[in-house]
């Protein structure tokens, strides 16, 4: 074709960037959240959400953008703001920097040795090592470092034991232990920059648990799968896993002992969290009531080693339900009732402090929120470092107009690694 056929002033049409409001509407719709629910969770009006979405209002400032990202579980802020706008913003919110132990853990999970002359460790030996690993996780301030160092050998040995065990009963036990090793791995991989690896581990854990035919192992794998779905805003999938597993556990609860009853209670809490994330207040507290009844049925000193479910944890769960519903006043009331010092696990205690901080910030008590985050960081630094809610609070308050609050937030943000020194 002659060049004369092409108009001299023609140019490839520029692709119009997707506006902030359009991105907000797409993400909100994808999450299955109505304008009314989103408005309530942001303490704004439905008409405000509508005007932002249709472009009648300018995109909000950073603090509100961070709150929207939290509600909609936006892991990369560029998905909400657009690539060009994200240049000046911290793009990682709910996924932190990769841990130094991540490559070794990934290598162990990527390895599929089909032949080996090495003898698998005995089941009792593997069980004891796994028990010590959980104990170490609960007691260590740098818990990811501890379990990251243990996981590669545990993964290889658990896989080998499951493969070499011949007796049917022992094979099922080995599969249950393998599922528990994958559960430990999922705690390490949460908020790491390799989502596909986390999903692979969650899926492997469920397969191993089903092979074990152990109700407790199946319950743990389902609880972790529901956590993964909810953190990815897959609320329907999270609900499906929890309700189906609770239905399965119904016949096992009476004679299953505290472990089975505890994992059922943990799944009830999980269902409540999902309902709260949707903004469904009645359903969320209804599930919490069921979980509290389950906790009362446990021995007084019992503490589930994986989920932390127990009598003593129900106050912490109440704080999270209120916070997920963005009920600031109720969050503070529940925080004052909860006894954080009775939680024996360092990372779980630090996570509860983060939930308290979220509640105090919602209630406008910013100084208390930051002080509570400092307590969380002193308890378990790695919990704060990889927690998206803690990162969001620090980034938001680093923009505070109050110099003292801005300084306090910035100093902690530097310690955590959210801001450069």
Question: Alpha carbon of 79 to those of 66, 84, 141, 198, 347: distances in Å?
Answer: 12, 11, 33, 21, 30
Phi, psi (rounded to 5 degrees) for 58: -70, 155
Q: What is the pLDDT of residue 84?
A: 47
pLDDT of residue 193: 81
* Side-chain-facing half-sphere of 105: CA atoms under 13 Å: 28
Q: What is the pLDDT of residue 83?
A: 55
Burial profile 321-348: b = 16 or more Cβ within 10 angstroms, e = fewer:
bbbbbbbbebbbbbbeebebeebebbbb
Give me the residues paired with residue 232 across strands: none
pLDDT of residue 363: 94
- What is the distance between the alpha carbons of residues 378 and 400, in angstroms, rounded to a whole number? 23
Give, for 346, the enclosing helix (H) or strand (E). helix 346-362
At 73 the pLDDT is: 76
* CA distance linking residue 107 with residue 102, whole number of Å: 9
pTM: 0.82
Tens-digit pLDDT profile for the chain (421 aa)? 444 444 444 444 444 567 888 888 888 887 778 888 888 778 788 899 998 888 888 888 877 887 788 778 776 777 787 754 443 445 555 566 688 999 999 999 998 776 667 888 999 999 999 999 999 999 999 999 999 999 999 999 999 999 888 888 899 999 999 999 999 999 999 888 888 899 999 999 999 999 999 999 999 999 999 999 998 878 999 999 999 999 999 999 988 899 999 999 999 999 999 999 988 999 999 999 999 999 999 998 999 999 999 999 999 999 999 999 999 999 999 999 998 888 999 999 999 999 999 999 999 999 999 999 999 999 999 999 888 889 889 988 988 889 999 999 999 999 988 776 5
| pLDDT for res 94 | 59
Please state the domain extents for the chain.
Answer: 20-86, 99-213, 238-311, 312-421
Please report the pLDDT score of residue 140 as a whole number: 94
Supply the CATH classification number for the domain 20-86. 1.10.260.40
pLDDT recorded at residue 372: 97
Task: Evaluate whether 138 touches 345 at the Cβ level (below 8 Å).
Answer: yes
Do residues 356 and 318 touch, judged by C-beta distance below 8 A? no
Output the pLDDT for position 5. 42
Answer for the pair 156, 179: CB distance below 8 angstroms, yes or no.
Answer: no
């Amino acid at each position: 074709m002659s060049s004369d056929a092409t108009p001299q002033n023609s140019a490839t049409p520029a692709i119009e960037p997707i506006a902030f409001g359009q991105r907000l509407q797409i993400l909100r719709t994808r999450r299955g959240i109505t304008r009314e629910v989103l408005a309530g969770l942001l303490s704004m009006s439905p008409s405000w959400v509508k005007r932002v979405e249709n472009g009648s209002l300018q995109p909000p400032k950073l603090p509100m953008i961070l709150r929207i990202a939290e509600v909609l579980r936006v892991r990369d802020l560029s998905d909400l703001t657009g690539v060009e706008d994200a240049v000046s913003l911290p793009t990682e919110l709910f996924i932190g920097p990769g841990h130094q132990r991540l490559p070794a853990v990934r290598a162990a999970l990527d390895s599929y040795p089909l032949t080996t002359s090495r003898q698998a460790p005995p089941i009792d030996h593997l069980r004891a090592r796994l028990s010590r690993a959980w104990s170490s996780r609960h007691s260590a301030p740098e818990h990811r470092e501890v379990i990251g160092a243990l996981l590669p050998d545990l993964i290889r040995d658990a896989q080998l034991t499951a493969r070499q065990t011949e007796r049917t009963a022992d094979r099922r036990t080995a599969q249950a232990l393998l599922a528990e090793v994958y559960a430990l791995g999922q705690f390490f991989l949460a908020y790491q920059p390799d989502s596909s690896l986390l999903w692979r581990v969650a899926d492997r854990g469920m397969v191993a648990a089903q092979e074990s035919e152990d109700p407790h192992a199946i319950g743990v794998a389902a609880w972790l799968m529901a956590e993964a779905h909810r953190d990815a805003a897959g609320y329907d999938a999270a609900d499906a896993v929890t309700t189906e597993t609770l239905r399965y556990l119904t016949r096992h609860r009476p004679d299953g002992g505290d472990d089975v009853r505890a994992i059922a209670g943990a799944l009830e809490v999980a269902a409540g969290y999902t309902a709260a994330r949707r903004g469904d207040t009645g359903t969320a507290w209804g599930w919490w009531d069921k979980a509290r009844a389950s906790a009362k049925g446990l021995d007084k000193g019992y503490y589930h080693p994986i989920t932390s479910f127990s009598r003593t944890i129900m106050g912490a769960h109440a704080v999270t339900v209120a916070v997920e519903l963005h009920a600031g006043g109720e969050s503070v009331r529940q925080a004052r009732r909860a006894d954080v010092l009775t939680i024996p696990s360092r990372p779980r205690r630090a996570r509860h402090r983060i939930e308290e901080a979220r509640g105090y910030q919602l209630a406008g008590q910013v100084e208390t929120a930051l002080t509570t985050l400092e307590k969380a960081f002193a308890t378990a630094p790695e919990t704060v470092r990889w927690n998206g809610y803690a990162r969001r609070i620090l980034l938001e308050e680093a923009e505070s107009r109050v110099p003292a609050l801005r300084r306090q937030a910035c100093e902690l943000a530097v310690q955590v690694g959210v801001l450069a020194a």
